[in-house]
Amino acid sequence: MRKDIEFKTEDGVTLRGWHYVPEGAQGPVPTIVMAHGFSAVKEMYLDRFAEAFAEVGLASVVFDNRNFGASDGEPRYEIDPWQQVRDYRDAITYAETLPETDAQRIGIWGSSYSGGHVMVVGALDRRVKCVVSQVPLASGHRNVRRLIRSDYLASVQAMFDEDRRARMNGAAPAMIPVVAEDPAAPSALPTPDSWTWFTETGKTRAPSWHNEVTLRSVEMFTEYEPISYARYISPTPFMMIVALDDVLTVSDLALEAYEEALGPKRLVTLSGGHFDAYVNDFEAASGPAQEWFLQHLGK
């Protein structure tokens, strides 16, 4: 069973999403809090994961990140990773208020950018009793240096600096496409598979997705280091799902973050690329996540 929900964050922004409850649930049940990655909206396959969790008796609170999709927030299409971490924690607080939620059995799930967020939230918030991080961003600074040619880095930094000066003088934040067909053109996620997945999924599933973010969203990406929190997730059970052919949130950095984490932990590897976790490798990604949540949250 799915119903639309909305809740206010601590700073008063309304976030909207879905509440999934397993059919025939009796009393409070374990609940998974989940949001999407960089610029993505909930219709981009989060429903499939929430449905898979409901099939095994797990409820889910799924929400659009602020400034995106059905959620409020200004400026539109701006991504502040630390604000998104705070919103995850507010979503946990909201989930605790729902009569269908067993507040002692709350898990978190994230993918890509939010795969990094759940590492941070898992380390900071002990209300969380289980974490699943799928194809996560581990190190924004190092990841950007893998996505952008070294001879382009100085010009990218110059764009950040010019945008900062303009904003101080009262200009609106500069914007940049999330993806571009030409991977050499300016974009936030400059890989061919990013272009294909976002444009195709936007057409077929998520017409509210918008191919633009603020330039400072990319600058904040370069400053974000979820790997520094990996060892502090313990003793909360932690699963990482890594796509071995991931060239967006590159797999070797994710594996390094997994090695940093202490136990209890489990690594699941997928044979495909970053976006295969949502489609071609969906069962290979969702099945172990179901098992991990059931093992540590119970029915």
AA letter at 238: F
The 10s digit of each residue's pLDDT in 242-276 is 999 999 999 999 999 999 999 999 999 999 999 99
Does 157 map to a domain? Answer: no
In a domain, 206, yes or no: no
Question: For residue 189, is it within any domain?
Answer: no
**Residue at 116 is within a domain:** yes
Neighbours of 263 (CB within 10 A): 10
**Mean pLDDT, the chain, integer:** 97
For residue 87, tell me if it sits in a domain.
yes
Number of structural domains (the chain) is 1
DSSP assignment string, 83-127: HHHHHHHHHHHHHHHSTTEEEEEEEEEEETHHHHHHHHHHHH-TT
* Residue 125: domain span: 2-139+225-297
Examine the pLDDT at 172 and tell me if it is beyond 90: yes
Give pLDDT, residue 25: 87
Q: What is the average pLDDT across 160-170?
A: 97
Q: 262 and 233 in contact (C-beta within 8 Å)? A: yes
Asked whether residue 236 is assigned to any structural domain, the reply reads: yes
Q: How do strand 128-134 and strand 101-111 relate by DSSP bridges?
A: parallel
Q: What is the pLDDT of residue 94?
A: 98
In a domain, 219, yes or no: no
> In CATH, what number is assigned to the domain containing residue 237?
3.40.50.1820
Tens of pLDDT along 185-207? 999 999 999 999 999 999 999 99
C-alpha to C-alpha distance for 82 and 211, rounded to whole angstroms: 22
Angle, CA 286 vertex, CA 103 and CA 23 arms, to 5°: 55
Q: Is residue 289 part of a domain?
A: yes
The confidence score (pLDDT) of residue 299 equals 58
